[in-house]
Amino acid sequence: VTMADDNDATVGGTLYPNYTDDEATFSSFIDEHEILTSYRDRSSDIEYLREPGTSYYRVNCYSPLLQRIKNRQYYNPEKRVFTVEVPLDELVSWDGVRGEELSKRAIQNTSRYISLFSKVIDGKLDSMEITNNNNGNDNSNGGVGY
């Protein structure tokens, strides 16, 4: 085994990605990726930063969704499933180097990277506390699906 660069290992001339580094990159993306929204929920404790010169707010993309999953606040109580969408173009926009490399590897080995992304999200959910912002919706009987 030889190291071709910081992200890959070579075994017998074949290049293999460093999944530990890819996991760390994806974890950073989940923590740091922000989106613009015009909606502001004044009853939540989400930190909103106004985008200069616009009527939009910059918010973390994934933490509100992950908190909702942790609290089991289903969008549709009959389906009791959550979907965490990871647009690869947003991964590239977030970091033009690390994000682009990670998105290419995710396209080339989708099954492996779905597992890796799920592992990161599960770890984040495990580290979160359940909040009491259920607004009377106790959906604690169902499982969470990705």
pLDDT given for residue 57 in this prediction: 82
Task: Give CA–CA dist 119/145, Å, rounded.
Answer: 13
Query: Per-residue pLDDT tens for 98-124?
Result: 999 999 999 999 999 999 999 999 999
* The two structure tokens encoding residue 62: 């994934």
Read off the pLDDT of each residue in 53-75 and give the average, rounded to a whole number: 89
pLDDT given for residue 142 in this prediction: 40
- Burial label, 68 (beta-carbon count in 10 A; 0-12, 13-18, 19+): middle
Task: Give CA–CA dist 136/115, Å, rounded.
Answer: 33
Contact yes or no for 36/56 (Cβ under 8 A): yes
Report the mean per-residue pLDDT for the chain. 82
Q: Which amino acid is at 145?
A: G
Read off the pLDDT of each residue in 7-31 and give the average, rounded to a whole number: 82
Task: Give CA–CA dist 28/36, Å, rounded.
Answer: 19
pLDDT given for residue 45 in this prediction: 59
Q: What percentage of residues in the chain have a pLDDT greater than 90?
A: 53
Maximum Cα–Cα distance for the chain, whole Å?
58
Q: Which amino acid is at 79?
A: K
Q: Which residue has the tokens 């085994």?
A: 1
Q: Kindly report the pTM of this predicted structure.
A: 0.74
The larger pLDDT score, comparing residue 25 to residue 8, is at 25
The larger pLDDT score, comparing residue 82 to residue 55, is at 82
Read off the pLDDT of each residue in 50-72 and give the average, rounded to a whole number: 87
